[in-house]
Amino acid sequence: MNYFKTAILLAGLTALFMAVGFMIGGEAGMLIALLVAGGMNVFAYWNSDKMVLRMHGAQEVDERTAPEFVGLVRELAGRAGLPMPRVYLMDNPQPNAFATGRNPQNAAVAATTGLLRSLSREEIAGVMAHELAHIKNHDTLTMTVTAPLAGAISMLAQFGMFFGGNRNNNPLGIVGLLLMVILAPLAAMLVQMAISRSREYAADRMGAEICGRPRWLATALGKISSAAHRIPNEAAEANPATAHLFIINPLSGERMDSLFSTHPATENRIAALEAMEREMGGVSAVNLGTAGNAGPWGSRGPWG
């Protein structure tokens, strides 16, 4: 089912890409846009995870460079019945995280240094369990391959504005070009949002089951949401098409890109997790040992 949703999503974005190409260059522009979109879809399937990680300056870590964090991810992956994903850290003060990869065998999870420094060990477990749930549900394929194509639609629309477009295909003239520049990226964003809300709720629930305590993820979501409004994420602001990948929208809201959130309201997600906590009662949680209320690595930082 997730592969079918991915196909529908890519078809919608490809059609939008072709429509913008038609407005810029007529039938020839539409054909070129189709060829480019097809090539991008193939490239995105195999390489979009690497592109996204590179966009956010993510560095791969292991048991030597970040033993406690990697060990936590390994234990959670075992509980989820998943292969061990590659683990990355982003040198970014905003607490946040995302997962990427075309399938569980080629998956990666990435967290910011801000996440490791500001959340407790239990809360980090909740966050990473959520990201592993995306991998288990094959959400990461949909989430990752749409990012470069949505970004390309925005760039193509701006290109059309710069070069004036094809007036024969655009009877509205300059007004039509302005509408294209505004509405094409907006439409791409709406297509990205098509399945994101149910996807996040499902990952919250499965993540809570993986770590055993919905409350850990609920408190983490509250802290991350609060911090995201105060601490800018420059890499995300420069690449807004990747915002839907993160557990909480990383955009500050200062750009138009943030007008439509790809995430459900945080308070609703927290309420659902709190209700789940009451339902689960004394479910066994991951044995994390003793953890404090702030970053679990103390003065050593997240590098072990």
- As a whole number, mean pLDDT of residues 78-105 equals 96
Beta carbons of 268 and 225 less than 8 angstroms apart: no
pLDDT band for 135, please (50, 70, 90 cuts).
Answer: very high
Query: Considering the chain, what is the average pLDDT of its residues?
Result: 80
Give the DSSP letter string of 206-229. HHHHHHS-HHHHHHHHHHHHHHHH
- pLDDT attached to residue 123: 97
pLDDT digits (tens, 9 = 90+) for 153-204: 766 666 665 555 555 555 545 555 555 666 666 666 666 565 566 689 999 9
Active site residues per annotation: 131
Say which residue the tokens 């905003």 belong to: 94
- As a whole number, mean pLDDT of residues 242-257 equals 75
Helices (H), the chain: 2-55, 67-80, 113-118, 121-136, 139-163, 174-193, 196-211, 214-230, 234-238, 266-280
Q: Which residues pair with 19 in a beta bridge?
A: none
pLDDT digits (tens, 9 = 90+) for 9-25: 777 777 777 777 777 66
Beta carbons of 167 and 90 less than 8 angstroms apart: no
pLDDT digits (tens, 9 = 90+) for 122-132: 999 999 999 99
Give the DSSP letter string of 107-147. EEEEEEHHHHHHS-HHHHHHHHHHHHHHHHTTHHHHHHHHH
CA separation for the pair 120, 224 (Å, rounded): 12
Beta carbons of 127 and 217 less than 8 angstroms apart: yes
Beta carbons of 9 and 142 less than 8 angstroms apart: yes
- pLDDT attached to residue 257: 41
Beta carbons of 239 and 55 less than 8 angstroms apart: yes
With residue 56 as reference, give the H or E element that holds it: none
